[in-house]
Structure 1
């Protein structure tokens, strides 16, 4: 039912317009900027009614107040980080349902990248808006959280259905693929996916959204509890949290 338009902004951000056609509602997910968002909405003939924020970083909330001032829209965001979300009116947390016209999003608390990060899952539309928690072949840097928070957050998202489309907020996939191959060089599916990603980027084509089934098979950050990853790292028998922390450390220094 939902119509989703992807807006590339800044250096590598993606902002999303999500249109619900029954009640003619339009949400902007993580508006980093104003002008490109307003232009894309006007081009589609849509009126922005909501902003859905996943976390407080400026490249996700930078357009909040100006877009609200121009449209009168309602700003929705994480209850756990309400003090850092400009203009927040509706606060959401783990297990909440957000009714967006005829569509419904389930909300997950997914701390790790930041302490107050949330994700929105529109089950009927197979659409997950996960900000900077999960990327195609990667995950966000651990700026505020801990491995003990981040790994359970990723497992929550991994538990969603295979056909879920992952609308993450950055085009990092090509670099993520190079790192993933350093962790998991014998993964045939990963090798094939990396080649496909290179071909897409060579033509300026987005690699996002990805499909969760592919992330489960090839994203090392979702596989910290799998024996083959532990073996590659020389960490057989170790707690998955420790393995995740090691993968994140290696990515930070890759």
Structure 2
């Protein structure tokens, strides 16, 4: 069984160490320093880096980590020219297996054209990068409303107990937007109480559970592209 360590990076980024107490993968290394510190503390050998997309705050630690640990870098085939140091190019819905690590990639455009999510299907864990946040979704930089709506619709089909690990600690601000547009949602009110409690204690608000996102995330509750588009525009100016 794999374990996930949350590593805070930059101002509000999350990087992740996925490991089996011996070998490790790193998801979206925003910067190398905090990850090296965590890897050494846990006495882990870094084998692979997985990038969800090419933005600097998800790939900036790639080359330093690769040089230090001689690890392989994995990314989406269509982003091979934008992922520094990439070694392994995966296609949409391709399965990658290495020892205890088994995952499937899903192309989820919207935030960027080449964004992918990594699904560790045996463990019901999904790394969503900047596609799905807790109580929100990513801004549209390269994709369309239709792209993001389809990507979120795909994620909605996963097992409801799936743990969602996203790229940023945006949850409190996202919650404020959701409650403004869904003020009678009792599940959301309970989730906001927990968010505030965790943040006060210095605990990350993630992972979230897909079931809770389906109940509380107003972007996942949008039933059509028109509603989703209006919400995304409002959130951009929130």
TM-score (norm 1): 0.91
Number of equivalenced pairs: 238
Q: 1:214 aligns with which of 212, 215, 224?
A: 212
Residue 229 of structure 2: aligned partner: 245
Give unmatched runs, 5+ long, in structure 1: 226-239
How far apart are residue 79 of structure 1 and its match? 1.1
Matches within 5 A, 1:172-183: 172-183=170-181
Residue 161 of structure 1: aligned partner: 159
Secondary structure of the equivalent of 2:232?
A: helix
Secondary structure of the equivalent of 1:148?
A: helix
How far apart are residue 46 of structure 1 and its match? 0.1
Give unmatched runs, 5+ long, in structure 2: none
Secondary structure of the equivalent of 2:81?
A: helix
How far apart are residue 183 of structure 1 and its match? 1.5
Residue 82 of structure 1: aligned partner: 80
Does the 8 A contact of 2:50 with 2:73 survive in 1? yes
Secondary structure of the equivalent of 1:156?
A: helix
Does the 8 A contact of 2:51 with 2:58 survive in 1? yes
Residue 4 of structure 2: aligned partner: 4
> Counterparts of 1:222 and 1:81 in 2: how far apart (Å)?
26
How far apart are residue 54 of structure 1 and its match? 0.2
Secondary structure of the equivalent of 2:45?
A: coil
- Identify the range of structure 1 (63-72 vs 188-197) with the bigger mean alpha-carbon deviation: 188-197
Matches within 5 A, 1:83-122: 83-122=81-120
Residue 149 of structure 1: aligned partner: 147
Secondary structure of the equivalent of 2:7?
A: strand
After the TM superposition, list the runs of 4 or more consecutive aligned residues in structure 1 that deviate by more than 4 angstroms: none
Residue 197 of structure 2: aligned partner: 199
- Identify the range of structure 1 (188-197 vs 50-59) with the bigger mean alpha-carbon deviation: 188-197
How far apart are residue 182 of structure 1 and its match? 1.3
Q: 2:183 aligns with which of 171, 180, 185?
A: 185
Does the 8 A contact of 2:2 with 2:100 survive in 1? no
1:127-174 CA-to-partner distances (Å, cap 9, x unmatched) read 111101001101111111001111010111111001100011111000
Q: Larger C-alpha radius of gyration, 1 or 2?
A: 1
Does residue 19 of structure 1 match 2:19? yes
Does the 8 A contact of 1:25 with 1:100 survive in 2? no
Secondary structure of the equivalent of 1:49?
A: strand
Does the 8 A contact of 1:93 with 1:118 survive in 2? no
> Counterparts of 1:53 and 1:20 in 2: how far apart (Å)?
20
Does the 8 A contact of 2:178 with 2:218 survive in 1? yes
